[in-house]
Amino acid sequence: MAQGAENTVAAATRAVVLAPDVAGRVRKSRFRREWRNPIGLVGAAIVLFTVVLAVCAPIISPYVPSAQGYGRLVEPNAAHWMGTDELGRDQLSRIIYGARVSLQVGAVSVVLALVAGLLIGVAAGFYRGWLDDWLMRVVDIVFAFPGLVLAIVIAGLLGPSRTNAMIAIGIVYAPAFARVIRGSVLSVMAESYVEAARVVGASDVRIMLRHLLPNIMAPIIVLTTVYLSTAILSEASLSFLGLGTQPPEPSWGGMLNAARRFMELAPWLAIFPGCAIMLVVLGFNFLGDGLRDILDPRIRTP
Amino acid sequence: MGKYVLRRLLLLIPTLIGMSLLIFVMLRLLPGDVVDLMTGGDIAASAEAKQALRQAFGLDKPLPVQYIEWVAGLARGDLGLSLRSREPISGVLMRALPVTLELTLLAIIIGTITAVPLGVLSATKPDAAIDYWSRIAGLIGLSLPNFWLATLALLFTSLWFRWVPPINYISPFADPIGNLQQMLIPAFAIALHLMAIVMRMTRTMMLEVLRQDYVRTARAKGAGERLVVYRHALRNALIPVVSVIGFQVGALMGGSAIVEVIFGLNGVGNTLVQGIFNRDYPLIQASALFLATIFVVVNLVVDLLYGYLDPRVKLA
């Protein structure tokens, strides 16, 4: 498998190799042209909408999400647009607050994966040699695990909680970042401007910060957006299994799990949280696809 | 070819050792003492009782010894006893294996036979609208949570048809129709992401291949459009698609874990999740390694198939 992943990822990294020197001029006109591409725009709008919901949750949500006593399992009506749950809580309010959990877990776990992936990928690609060999060997082994299975094991062993779900998802996706970043670093290191910087005596850190990082930004941006969607799905999956965010905190995965026991009586409990998950994930996927078109169509995403 | 296969088989060994080490280290290093958890954090459980438990499970030995004993057991096919049911784990997993394998296989079949034609269609009709909508459909497919689909499927079949999935696994050999009734919906729920990915990949590759010289040559010599598309283009376009499918099997394993829980199917993924809830460490260890091994082996098979489909790979 190490080999299997190697082949696929080698192909992916080869594809990821950027077009950094295709001049900012070209990129700018591209940006203008592609930004009319509605897929990316729709994605950006959905993401923005969700962020606003999450940030302004206390202002927007019609009820307090933990407040009970609006009648149990009430059908959607004018007062409760999405009905109430088995404890008599307003589902719309819980879904609005759930956006906070989703976005927070997604963002934190992707940042974790990104930071770990950057450290590993840059160290491996910059210094090569035995460090590269060993780091990549470890990365390959983690990579060889089915992602969600690994997340289930880590989150389960750490103990079900939101923090631990973030850690688990971060660990699971770090290898993907590390591999892509290493591949980009390798290709940039072969550029003559890096050699030139060396010749004039720039330090390693200076080369990394001034020459390397700016030129590997495109795949990092696209990867981050795409993995945000995957991380949100993973959090929802973990919470659905009872291994992520714990009730009574409102998380979409957890709400869906709770809904399973009542769904024949109250199908709306199973429908709305799923729609919320789908919409946000779709937003990030659209945005990622649009960004890829703008930044570099050769970057492959899942 | 024989040499290539042998080399790849040998390369499997370090990967499996690495994975078993990773699982072992995770279970031992992550906070939470197994024995404390087993006594339920019961302070009244005396130190001697705990020590006795540790000895019974061999947890008092140094870590390297524990690891070697575990691996030696694995090599003999002895996965230990479940802490919960005291059953041999190898038996539990052997009963669970057919469910997971069938789900995965069905998902691959469903995902491939629906997505490849769609990908070909959207690539051969260079119409902006079809192109656009296939891209959007692919992204929507990628965004649908499989556990939500599975839940809704369960909800609507019970609401509309009063159909509830049977509790026990029906073997496809004993009752093929009953088996399919049971497995088709869960398999479809898992297959959706794969469908989206395979469709996108087929489309991209077809667009690339249709621009190749040999396709022009085929057209020039007067081959019909269908022959060109299916014989010349598709066969070459499918090669990378095969490796993407292999790669996605990992995601299918994760998906099947959730869907098995939802449908109450006793597969390997469900066994793992139950093991985690019961803090059944030997069971977690064994089932996680089992799932990872299936993934690794599938990818080996895919790689070998790749070497067969694309003879250039063998030289590498």
Q: What band does A159 get if pLDDT is binned at 50, 70 and 90?
A: confident
Residue of A nearest to B302 (CA): A4
Check pLDDT > 50 for residue B200: yes
Enter the tokens of residue A173: 């996706």
Kindly report which listed range (B24-38, B102-116, B184-198) carries the lowest average pLDDT score: B24-38
User: In this complex, is the C-beta atom of A265 within 8 Å of any C-beta atom belonging to chain B?
Assistant: no
Check pLDDT > 50 for residue A15: no
Q: Say what the ipTM of the complex is.
A: 0.86
> Span A120-125, mean pLDDT?
92
Backbone angles phi, psi at A68, to 5 degrees: -105, 175
Cross-chain Cβ contact B253/A146 below 8 Å: yes
DSSP result, B25-87: HHHHHSSS-HHHHHTTT-TTS-HHHHHHHHHHTTTTS-HHHHHHHHHHHHHTT---B-TTT--
Looking at CA atoms only, how far is residue A230 from chain B in angstroms? Answer: 9
Check pLDDT > 50 for residue A25: no
Cross-chain Cβ contact B257/A152 below 8 Å: yes
Residue of A nearest to B280 (CA): A157
Could you say which residues from 16 to 75 on chain A have a Cβ atom under 8 Å away from some Cβ of chain B? 39
User: In this complex, is the C-beta atom of A76 within 8 Å of any C-beta atom belonging to chain B?
Assistant: no
Q: How far apart are CA B46 and CA B50, in angstroms?
A: 6
> Whole-number mean pLDDT of chain A?
82
Bigger pLDDT: B143 or A296? B143
Q: What band does A38 get if pLDDT is binned at 50, 70 and 90?
A: confident
- Name which of B144, B253, B303 is nearest A278 (Cβ-Cβ): B144
Q: How far apart are CA A31 and CA A23, in angstroms?
A: 13
Cross-chain Cβ contact A146/B250 below 8 Å: yes
**SS3 assignment for chain A:** CHHHHHHHHHHHHHHHCCCCCCCHHHHHHHHHHHCCCHHHHHHHHHHHHHHHHHHCHHHHCCCCCCCCCCCCCCCCCCCCCCCECCCCCEHHHHHHHHHHHHHHHHHHHHHHHHHHHHHHHHHHHHHCHHHHHHHHHHHHHHHCCCHHHHHHHHHHHHCCCHHHHHHHHHHHHHHHHHHHHHHHHHHHHCCHHHHHHHHCCCCHHHHHHHHHHHHCHHHHHHHHHHHHHHHHHHHHHHHHCCCCCCCCCCCHHHHHHHHCCCCCCCCHHHHHHHHHHHHHHHHHHHHHHHHHHHHCCCCCCC
Cross-chain Cβ contact B27/A154 below 8 Å: no
Cross-chain Cβ contact B251/A11 below 8 Å: no
Cross-chain Cβ contact A285/B142 below 8 Å: yes
- Name which of B148, B250, B292 is nearest A277 (Cβ-Cβ): B148
Q: How far apart are CA A38 and CA B119, in angstroms?
A: 22
Q: What band does B35 get if pLDDT is binned at 50, 70 and 90?
A: low
Enter the tokens of residue B284: 């977690």
The fraction of chain A above a pLDDT of 90, given in percent, is 37
Cross-chain Cβ contact B27/A157 below 8 Å: yes
Check pLDDT > 50 for residue A4: no
The answer to whether A153 and B257 are in contact (CB under 8 A) is no
Report pLDDT for B194. Answer: 92
Residue of B nearest to A282 (CA): B143
> Span B286-294, mean pLDDT?
90
Check pLDDT > 50 for residue A24: no
Kindly report which listed range (A165-169, B165-169, B175-179) carries the lowest average pLDDT score: B165-169
Check pLDDT > 90 for residue A10: no
Kindly report which listed range (A11-20, A215-224, B230-239, B266-275) carries the lowest average pLDDT score: A11-20
> Span A269-283, mean pLDDT?
93
What are the distances in angstroms from CA A218 to CA A15, A18, A86, A213, B60?
12, 7, 46, 10, 51
Check pLDDT > 80 for residue A89: yes
- Report chain A residues whose CB lies below 8 A from the CB of B240: 11
Is the peptide bond preceding residue A248 cis, with omega within 30 degrees of 0? Answer: yes
Residue of A nearest to B27 (CA): A157
Report pLDDT for B173. Answer: 81
The fraction of chain B above a pLDDT of 90, given in percent, is 19
User: In this complex, is the C-beta atom of A274 within 8 Å of any C-beta atom belonging to chain B?
Assistant: yes
Q: What is the tens place of the pLDDT at every residue in A222-272?
A: 889 889 999 999 999 999 999 988 888 889 999 999 888 888 788 888 899
Check pLDDT > 50 for residue A3: no
- Report chain B residues whose CB lies below 8 A from the CB of A286: 139
> Span B167-186, mean pLDDT?
81
Enter the tokens of residue B1: 């070819």
Report pLDDT for A5. Answer: 39
The answer to whether B286 and B79 are in contact (CB under 8 A) is yes
Q: How far apart are CA A102 and CA B111, in angstroms?
A: 28
Cross-chain Cβ contact A4/B246 below 8 Å: yes
The answer to whether A192 and A186 are in contact (CB under 8 A) is no
Cross-chain Cβ contact A302/B197 below 8 Å: yes
Check pLDDT > 70 for residue B282: yes
Secondary structure (3-state) at B88 = strand
- Report chain A residues whose CB lies below 8 A from the CB of B142: 229, 281, 285, 302
The DSSP symbol for B224 reads -
The DSSP symbol for B174 reads T
* Angle at which helices A91-127 and A217-240 cross, to 10°: 140
The fraction of chain A above a pLDDT of 70, given in percent, is 85
> Span B198-206, mean pLDDT?
88
